[in-house]
Structure 1
Amino acid sequence: MQNILIQKKWILLLILAIGIFFRFYNLNWGSPFYFHPDERNISSSVTQLNFPQMNPHFFAYGSLPIYAIYFTGVVINYIQSIFFYQIPIINQITRISFENSLIISRLFSAALSVILLLLIYKTATMLKGRNAGIIALIFSATSTGFIQFAHFGTFETWLALLSTLLFYFLLKFIKNRKNIYYLLSIFTLGILISVKISSLVLTPLPLLALIFYHSKSNIHPSLILRNLLFSVLLLVVIPLICFFVFSPYSILDYKSFTSSIFYESSVAIGTMHVFYTDGFYNTMPILFQFTKIYPFLINPVLTILFLPILIVFTYKTLVKKDFEQLLLLAFFFIIFFSQVFLFAKWTRYMLPTLPFIYLIISVEISSLIKSKNLSLVRYLILIVIFFASFIYCLSFFITNYIHKDTRISAVEFVKQNLPKNSKVLSEVYDMGIVPLNSHFYNINLFNFYDLDNSLYKEKELYANLNNYDYIILPSTRILRSRFLNPSIFPKGYSFYKNLISGKNGYKMIYVTPCDIFCKIVYVNNPVFGLEETVYVFDRPTIYIFKKQ
């Protein structure tokens, strides 16, 4: 028995070491350009802070992570000032550079992703035992979604961790029947709302846990009612206090806050058209997530398995009236359905569902392992599932973090083959063109997004098309949306179709190569296989066309 326990410890340490390596390797990707627009917005908001001026002027997310990045930067600056300047210079300490804030934000994401691994293991173990914990840890450590967002200085990993922590405390509350866990859970909820206000959708979950808790109680109904009312009061007051403390400018700069919330919500539900949501026309909720998002986030094999597992898990839970598993299902369904019907179906919206997917899968697989009728064939199937998860994860890791950045590879091709005095036409609103600015003297950024909305733009494009030597597409964001929606963007579709086929007088001379690892990750198609934000920030496909 002792040898088995020792082996399990080594297995845990090995899995954890793999997870840590995958999350921290090449955190400085994209340097010095840093292409991710959300990262850039967050870092720009951090650079505006200079204590006591603490208004981030950015409310797409809550202020708590922004302040955490800022004060971490202040501490680092203070330590550096002691070593390099002897006497700290206040102005140098309290201002954080753009690059430093971006790297710190990525370090937070990677570190929190590792903590999330441990929390998922601990939660799965509490739900179904050590085997479930190890299974959940394997899937989480090799999760492409977790690994990618550990490399992004955005706050989705914060949301995933805090959502899981909320579930963990509520689970402990139901199991151990100690009020301290309820208090910790509603404090966690307050922090969640301070990270992103849309986390308000999770507010009913502590109430659900209270109902489960009191359903097992023998206390007099009047006392239960009094306890419930007091608990509800705490559920309102404590998160509000947390939100106001950690996001004070939501009140102090209420006009900017409400304006930002209106903008973000309008974009999400599709009532306000913006160029970066063009790819979501004619997308079917649920089907889109299970065909274009989850195959990347949790890998294609687990995506196929998850639906039948979810059905079986739900049926068993309802039959047994298992309150703990009902709470797990409630977390998954509330987070999933609060996002799935939005017009903007970005991959990041689904990341907080991943811990609960892995918990559900691990509970069912561990039940299968405990079955007396477990055959050799089923064991082999489990091994194949684990192997497929690792291969998919490794393929993503090699493609994105071992291989050279696709934009840098394109720049190297350009420097070797294209003259500096070439006239270049490219697309607006894409950071991918920035590395080429130092090579070309003349790059014209044309707004292809407006091609279908402006007759003037159409005439301008075709009147000047023959004046350029090269056309460079720094990503496939516009091309993809036009090919997917030719009836909505007929002019854009016609232009890009003719460009690819050579009918516009240009010949393709370069396209980002896609090797076997790339094809595994992007389901054999790095442009149309998955939702565009899966690859557009860290591994876009670049096209270069030369005038014939």
Structure 2
Amino acid sequence: MKNIISAGILLLASLIAALIGLGLAYHSFVTPLSSKGTFNKIGGDKWIEEGSEITLSKLLHRGNKAKLSFNTWRPEGLEAAHLKVFLCDNLISDFRVSEQPQVLYLTNTCNPKILRFEVVNPFTPSELDQRKLGAQLETMQIYSDLGVPLVDLRLLIQTALAIFILSFLWLLIANQIGSRVLPFLAPIFSCLVLYNCENLNLQPAQALWIVITFVSFGFYLYGRLQDNRSGFELNNSSNILSSMTIVPEGQFLWSSAIIVSILVVGALLRFYNIDFGLPFNYHPDEVPKFNAIQRMRAHGDLNPRYFLHPSMLLYGTYFANSLLHLFGRTGEWMDSAIYAGRLMSATAGTLSIYLTYTISKRLFSTHTGLLSAAALALFPLHITCSRYVKEDALLLFMILLTIHFVVKAVKQDKAALLLIAGLLAGASAATKYSGILVFAVIIGAPFLKSRHVLKPDLRFLKFALFASLLIPVGFVICTPYSVLDSATFLKDVASETEHMARGHTILIDPWSQFWTYHLARSILPGVTIAPYLLALIGFGLLIRRRRIEDLFVISLFLLFYLPAEYVNAKPAPQPERYIFPCLPFIAIAASELIHVLRKKSLHALASIGIFLLLISPVKRSLNLASELKPDTRDLMRSWMLDNVPQGSTILVDWKPYNPVFSEEEFTLVYLPRDDILSNLRMSKLRESKADFLLLSGLFYDRYFNQPNANPAFREIIRDVRGNFTTLKEFKPKYGTYGFHNPSLTLFDLKN
């Protein structure tokens, strides 16, 4: 009975929180200069002309009012402006403009609500400006008797229900931990979050709600499992996953056979069609690597003269290509450089699967290790990034190798292994500068050993401090010209630091997305929905259980997630590469959740969890692999060679995003990279005298699906589509992912 009363109070509190939060988030006070797309035919000079409209979305059908304030000035000799206002074609007001604000009652079931103005006594300002003007609108305010706008009933109910679900979940947790305040914090917190959703942009709030709700459920679930103890102890690390045909601990041959099978599957997915796009360059970041290696070959030394990224990947690619030619690869040495680099990335990605197994096996159990390795082997993001000559796959391998030695040192009580970990941490930083974060793992080793978050093991602490001194040594060994060519090194590092602070084309700060940008836009599509939700529940379980191994895995995830979320370099294409090091710990959290369910003899739930963890990503990964060759750029190239007159002049947004043609085939004019959009305006395109325009989704999609994108940029692309004939368009069946298969559109500029 007590819980029913509390639930009723929480339901009312959730409704109030939704009502107030959504009302405060609504763009209730606007001007013609800050209309957020609300006004039509009311420009920056504020004049209302005949047929002007104000569009108001997501408002309740009754209870709202609009207060309009006007500037009464009109040309001398003209009487006050006489306006009629229609709400969805129904006349709601007929008035003459005065100093007093005009209040309109927004009572109508239409949505959106469109206010249309009819000017009864218009004037024309000049021969050049033939608008029929009425009065200048200064401000508009939407409000209700409650003080805030009343939003659409459906949106209100959905939001209140979401708040109530979280509140009720916190009520259940409160009953477990003996807190009276906790459940009532949810409506307050939710109201504050909604208040910060500018212009009712609820996507970040939805992402945050999913994270908090599913983590909270994992927290609650562990408490329930502890309350119903039977069978195995949950803090024990052994279990049987019979539904996977995984055998009990100790049968080494079976577990070895399973991990080998997982590695074979992982390798097949990563090496499959790894020569995609070649001999053309379809990944823009592969080109600088190719150029750096070419410089080393030309100068006969190992100085890449390029330090926007460290040198480990370059040396690895150089070595891999040399091996290829040593064992029979024919042709020019440089022709196979990118292919060799991709082979190295795929190898590093495959080995990362094994390291995930060894780490989670030592921290939890063989079964958790096998399941987490299987999950990582199938994650679409891990597979995709393991195909590029990019630092990400090699970086994760080095990070996991460092963690492997740290965990091994702790579990086997061999503190000297931390010295190897220190050198490997330096090698991680020499792969990608963000690899320096793994320094924290070495410092955390004494706490992992002592099993206390505040009291480190003193013997391990001494070794950890000495190992930290070896990090610069490892870095210099793997990027020696950071010292030998320090001037170029410092210059490039400063440039890359500025780039990460400045962001790409769109600035996205973490608070505007409630620190969930990468959770919703990188991790979710990168692992697919089921593993994502299982991992969130798993993290909640680990937080509640609070073993030192649990806290270690959580800390590792946050160590690599929070810096990626903090920097402004987020927008597409492929922002997900920045959270690549988080993937193993997502796999481990989800796998340990299933491990715990199996130990509690919840075999059906564990089996469902295994199925969802593996089937969802493997389906997505196979679909993406099926479209690797031919790429949409290959398809567009073939079509254009067959159907577009040779020698035609073609405008192209950016070379790496589009098909490659020779000078004999077409005259290609690449738009200036820093000013592409302005060159896509109608006047510029007509002045260009070009025959065709080729646009890639890798360029323009960001303006449609990224937060904080300027709406004016979208209109430029829409104008192109609306004013020119689409001659041919290629779209991938399973969508663009990474730098594969952009949507390509060829426009005829002659019509």
What is the alpha-carbon distance in structure 2 between the residues aligned to residue 509 and residue 258 of structure 1? Answer: 48
Alignment equivalent of 2:649, drawn from 416, 419, 423: 423
SS in structure 2 of the partner of residue 304 of structure 1: helix
- Show the 5 A alignment for 1:347-358: 347-358=576-587
Contact 2:682 2:719 in 1 (8 A): no
Deviation at 1:287, TM superposition (A): 2.3
- Show the 5 A alignment for 1:290-301: 290-301=519-530
Which amino acid in 1 is paired with 2:731?
Answer: P
Deviation at 1:106, TM superposition (A): 0.7
- Show the 5 A alignment for 1:323-338: 323-338=548-563
Q: Which moved more, 1:9-18 or 1:176-185?
A: 9-18
Which amino acid in 2 is paired with 1:387?
Answer: I
Q: TM-score, normalised by structure 1?
A: 0.82
Deviation at 1:375, TM superposition (A): 5.0
Residue of structure 1 in register with 2:290 after alignment: 43
What is the alpha-carbon distance in structure 2 between the residues aligned to residue 10 and residue 445 of structure 1? Answer: 53
* Larger relative contact order, structure 1 or 2 (CA cutoff 8 Å, min sep 6): 1
Deviation at 1:325, TM superposition (A): 2.4
What is the alpha-carbon distance in structure 2 between the residues aligned to residue 169 and residue 312 of structure 1? Answer: 26
Deviation at 1:229, TM superposition (A): 6.8
- Show the 5 A alignment for 1:86-97: 97=333
Contact 2:445 2:460 in 1 (8 A): no
Alignment equivalent of 1:476, drawn from 697, 717, 740: 697
SS in structure 2 of the partner of residue 425 of structure 1: strand
Deviation at 1:75, TM superposition (A): 4.5
Are 1:15 and 2:262 an aligned pair?
A: yes
Contact 1:127 1:324 in 2 (8 A): yes
Deviations 1:501-524 (A, max 9, x none): x2x2x1113222343xx0xxx4xx
SS in structure 1 of the partner of residue 430 of structure 2: helix
What is the alpha-carbon distance in structure 1 between the residues aligned to residue 712 and residue 375 of structure 2? Answer: 44
What is the alpha-carbon distance in structure 2 between the residues aligned to residue 480 and residue 463 of structure 1? Answer: 23
Runs of 4+ in 1 over 6 A off after TM superposition: 485-488
Which amino acid in 2 is paired with 1:397?
Answer: A
What is the alpha-carbon distance in structure 2 between the residues aligned to residue 514 and residue 433 of structure 1? Answer: 14
Contact 1:47 1:97 in 2 (8 A): no
Contact 2:399 2:428 in 1 (8 A): yes
Which amino acid in 1 is paired with 2:730?
Answer: T
What is the alpha-carbon distance in structure 2 between the residues aligned to residue 258 and residue 228 of structure 1? Answer: 34
Residue of structure 1 in register with 2:747 after alignment: 545
Are 1:212 and 2:448 an aligned pair?
A: yes
Residue of structure 2 in register with 1:151 after alignment: 387
Contact 1:174 1:324 in 2 (8 A): no
Contact 1:144 1:393 in 2 (8 A): yes
Contact 1:189 1:239 in 2 (8 A): yes
What is the alpha-carbon distance in structure 1 between the residues aligned to residue 626 and residue 536 of structure 2? Answer: 29
Contact 2:418 2:467 in 1 (8 A): no
Q: Which moved more, 1:105-114 or 1:43-52?
A: 43-52
- Show the 5 A alignment for 1:8-157: 10-50=257-297, 53-78=301-326, 97-157=333-393
Contact 1:280 1:344 in 2 (8 A): yes
Q: TM-score, normalised by structure 2?
A: 0.61
What is the alpha-carbon distance in structure 2 between the residues aligned to residue 347 and residue 198 of structure 1? Answer: 15
What is the alpha-carbon distance in structure 2 between the residues aligned to residue 251 and residue 99 of structure 1? Answer: 30
Which amino acid in 2 is paired with 1:28?
Answer: D
Contact 2:296 2:304 in 1 (8 A): yes
Deviation at 1:285, TM superposition (A): 5.7
Deviation at 1:35, TM superposition (A): 1.5
What is the alpha-carbon distance in structure 1 between the residues aligned to residue 530 and residue 605 of structure 2? Answer: 17
Are 1:412 and 2:638 an aligned pair?
A: yes
Which amino acid in 2 is paired with 1:444?
Answer: V
Which amino acid in 1 is paired with 2:625?
Answer: F
Residue of structure 2 in register with 1:530 after alignment: none
Q: 1:377 to 1:484 in 2, by over 3 A?
A: closer
What is the alpha-carbon distance in structure 2 between the residues aligned to residue 309 and residue 490 of structure 1? Answer: 39
Q: 1:71 to 1:486 in 2, by over 3 A?
A: closer
- Show the 5 A alignment for 1:202-241: 202-214=438-450, 227=459, 230-241=462-473
Q: 1:451 to 1:204 in 2, by over 3 A?
A: closer
What is the alpha-carbon distance in structure 2 between the residues aligned to residue 11 and residue 230 of structure 1? Answer: 39
1 or 2, which has the higher helix percentage?
1
Alignment equivalent of 2:624, drawn from 378, 396, 402: 396
Residue of structure 2 in register with 1:248 after alignment: 480
Deviations 1:241-268 (A, max 9, x none): 1222221211122121111111111111
What is the alpha-carbon distance in structure 2 between the residues aligned to residue 3 and residue 70 of structure 1? Answer: 41
Residue of structure 2 in register with 1:461 after alignment: 684
What is the alpha-carbon distance in structure 1 between the residues aligned to residue 257 and residue 301 of structure 2? Answer: 49
Are 1:264 and 2:496 an aligned pair?
A: yes
Residue of structure 2 in register with 1:507 after alignment: 725
What is the alpha-carbon distance in structure 1 between the residues aligned to residue 639 and residue 566 of structure 2? Answer: 42
Deviation at 1:41, TM superposition (A): 0.9
What is the alpha-carbon distance in structure 2 between the residues aligned to residue 457 and residue 511 of structure 1? Answer: 18
Q: 1:296 to 1:97 in 2, by over 3 A?
A: farther
Which amino acid in 2 is paired with 1:426?
Answer: V
What is the alpha-carbon distance in structure 2 between the residues aligned to residue 313 and residue 329 of structure 1? Answer: 8
Contact 1:171 1:324 in 2 (8 A): no
What is the alpha-carbon distance in structure 2 between the residues aligned to residue 441 and residue 256 of structure 1? Answer: 38
Contact 1:281 1:485 in 2 (8 A): no
Q: 1:34 to 1:376 in 2, by over 3 A?
A: same
Residue of structure 1 in register with 2:714 after alignment: 493
Contact 1:309 1:361 in 2 (8 A): yes
Residue of structure 2 in register with 1:339 after alignment: 564
What is the alpha-carbon distance in structure 2 between the residues aligned to residue 509 and residue 480 of structure 1? Answer: 19
Q: 1:114 to 1:378 in 2, by over 3 A?
A: closer
Are 1:278 and 2:505 an aligned pair?
A: yes
Residue of structure 1 in register with 2:167 after alignment: none
Residue of structure 2 in register with 1:87 after alignment: none
Contact 1:162 1:192 in 2 (8 A): yes
Are 1:189 and 2:422 an aligned pair?
A: no
Which amino acid in 2 is paired with 1:510?
Answer: K
SS in structure 2 of the partner of residue 499 of structure 1: helix
Structure 2: gaps spanning 5 or more residues = 1-241
SS in structure 2 of the partner of residue 278 of structure 1: coil
Q: 1:508 to 1:199 in 2, by over 3 A?
A: same
> Would you say how many aligned residue pairs link Structure 1 and Structure 2?
494
Which amino acid in 1 is paired with 2:286?
Answer: E
Which amino acid in 2 is paired with 1:497?
Answer: R
SS in structure 2 of the partner of residue 543 of structure 1: strand
Contact 2:274 2:343 in 1 (8 A): yes
Deviation at 1:434, TM superposition (A): 4.8
SS in structure 2 of the partner of residue 48 of structure 1: helix
Q: Which moved more, 1:203-212 or 1:360-369?
A: 203-212
Contact 1:160 1:355 in 2 (8 A): no
Identity of aligned residues (%): 19
Deviation at 1:195, TM superposition (A): 1.3
Which amino acid in 2 is paired with 1:303?
Answer: Y
Q: 1:259 to 1:111 in 2, by over 3 A?
A: same
Are 1:180 and 2:401 an aligned pair?
A: no
What is the alpha-carbon distance in structure 2 between the residues aligned to residue 449 and residue 497 of structure 1? Answer: 20
What is the alpha-carbon distance in structure 2 between the residues aligned to residue 459 and residue 384 of structure 1? Answer: 49
Deviation at 1:18, TM superposition (A): 1.6
Residue of structure 2 in register with 1:88 after alignment: none
Deviation at 1:202, TM superposition (A): 2.3
What is the alpha-carbon distance in structure 2 between the residues aligned to residue 268 and residue 439 of structure 1? Answer: 39
Q: 1:486 to 1:20 in 2, by over 3 A?
A: closer
SS in structure 2 of the partner of residue 206 of structure 1: helix
What is the alpha-carbon distance in structure 2 between the residues aligned to residue 391 and residue 359 of structure 1? Answer: 20
